[in-house]
Amino acid sequence: MSNGDWPTLLGDNRRSGGQAARPWRAPQKSLWQSSVEGWVRGAPILRGGLLYVASLGGCLTAIDIRTGKMHWQFKTDASIHSTPSLNRKDVLVTCDDGKLYAIDSSSGAKSWEFASGAEIWSSPIVANDTIFFGDTAGSMQAVASIGHAMKWKRDLGGKIYATACVSGKQLFVSCGDANVYCLDAISGEIRWKAATGSGIDCSPAVANGSLFVGSLDFFFYAIDTTNGAVRWKYEAELGISSSPAVSGDIVVFGCKAGMLRALNTQTGKLLWSRFLGQAITAPPVISGDTVWIQSGVTHALNLADGKVLWWARLGYSLQSAPVVTESAVYLTSMEGDVYALA
């Protein structure tokens, strides 16, 4: 895998969005507040001083993090539900118009587009010069990042709303038909599938030979990546849509009953749990020793014991996650507000 790869939702297993770990420090003030056109469902991403925010208003907006001012805006004809990804100099974004767009990250000009045919809510991911995404018609697709030709397309048994995850030559896909699929990333062939009790709309994470994913059947699973066997599973109170974040031997995820949990990746043993008051559907982000999560209120918790370190009634969101950097924390709210906290 090359340095430019972006193999899972928010870039890596920690859902860090490509950012380095930040030592714990509570935000003290707002640097700026801005807004984008339309509501925001996905998470922002950051690179090179620009924060990229996609919105249901069909806009991908680049915001200058020094000023909070819009640097450029790219407008599509339909809503964007997904979180953008990065590929070389481009920002990749999928859209309800069935297209994958590659937008020049510095100018906002369209580099190229690829028409898939069906609505796309999952984020594109990149590995080995290939871009992968699933669509709501149940197809997983692989497109060459250079030349932009389709490499393969694989129809699965249900709708795909979650972002896939690549590890080596394996591509892992959560599906509405209750299965997690392992596809050959090169050919698109199905290597194995593992059944859960209900549809799956959270993105998996892979670490140490295990695939971690929650299902709407209320269970959180650790699955052997070699054969799809369930290593352990943990029962929550309600369905799980929150994509897990993994750091070391800790995996953190939320459930719709409002509980955020940390489990040991090897055993599935509960390390801590914390009730956050509202349904959790967004992914947590782990930065250093801190877990950040948006669920009505934005919380920062100590990774080791789940103790709440900081919270703010900012950034109500279903699927967004903060961008945590050394110098600031960037948040988007469902209503389209964007905050920079320092």
Partner 1 sequence: MIDRRQFVKRTCLGGLALYLDHWATSPAYGQDVIPPAPPIHVTEPAGIERSPLGMPGLFPGRVVEIADQQAIISNRVSQTVVQRILDHALCELTGVQDVRVAWSKFVEPKDIVGIKINPSGAPACCSSPEIVRAIVAGVQSAGVPLKNIHVYDRYAYEIDIGSYQTLVPLGVRVVGIQDRKLDASGYDSNIYCEANFFGEWETRSYMASIVSSDLTKIINVPTMKDHSAAGVTGCLKNLGYGTFNNVDRSHRRPFSFTDPLIGVMCSVEPLRSKAVLHIMDGMRMLWHGGPLSQNPKFIFPAGTLMVGTDPVAMDTIELEKIEAKRSKEGAPSVWSRDPKSLTENGGEFYEDATKNLYYRQPHHIAAAGKLGLGVSELKRIDHRILSAG
Six-digit token string for 70: 């819009």
Smallest separation (angstroms) from partner 1 to the CB of 320: 12
DSSP 8-state secondary structure symbol assigned to residue 6: B
Six-digit token string for 238: 């309600």
Question: 130 vs 136, which CB is nearer to partner 1?
Answer: 136
Smallest separation (angstroms) from partner 1 to the CB of 284: 17
User: What is the side-by-side strand order in the sheet with 308-312?
Assistant: 285-287, 290-295, 297-302, 308-312
Question: 75 vs 110, which CB is nearer to partner 1?
Answer: 75
Taking alpha carbons only, the member of 200, 246, 222, 330 closest to residue 15 is 246
DSSP 8-state secondary structure symbol assigned to residue 199: -
Q: Are 240 and 215 in contact (CB under 8 A)?
A: yes
Question: 241 vs 325, which CB is nearer to partner 1?
Answer: 241
Question: 164 vs 328, which CB is nearer to partner 1?
Answer: 164
Taking alpha carbons only, the member of 327, 330, 260 closest to residue 293 is 260
Question: 72 vs 218, which CB is nearer to partner 1?
Answer: 218
Residue with tokens 């069906």: 118
β-bridge partners, 194 = 180
For residues 247 and 233, what is the distance between their CA atoms, to the nearest angstrom? 18
Smallest separation (angstroms) from partner 1 to the CB of 18: 25
Residue with tokens 């979650």: 162
Question: 160 vs 341, which CB is nearer to partner 1?
Answer: 160
Smallest separation (angstroms) from partner 1 to the CB of 311: 17
Question: 88 vs 233, which CB is nearer to partner 1?
Answer: 233
3-state SS, residue 149: coil
Phi, psi of 257 (to 5 degrees): -80, 0
Contacts with partner 1, residue ranges (CB under 8 A): 38-39, 41, 56, 79, 121, 136-138, 157-159, 161, 176, 197-201, 216-218, 237-239, 241, 256-258, 279, 281, 318-319, 334-335
Six-digit token string for 53: 């925010």
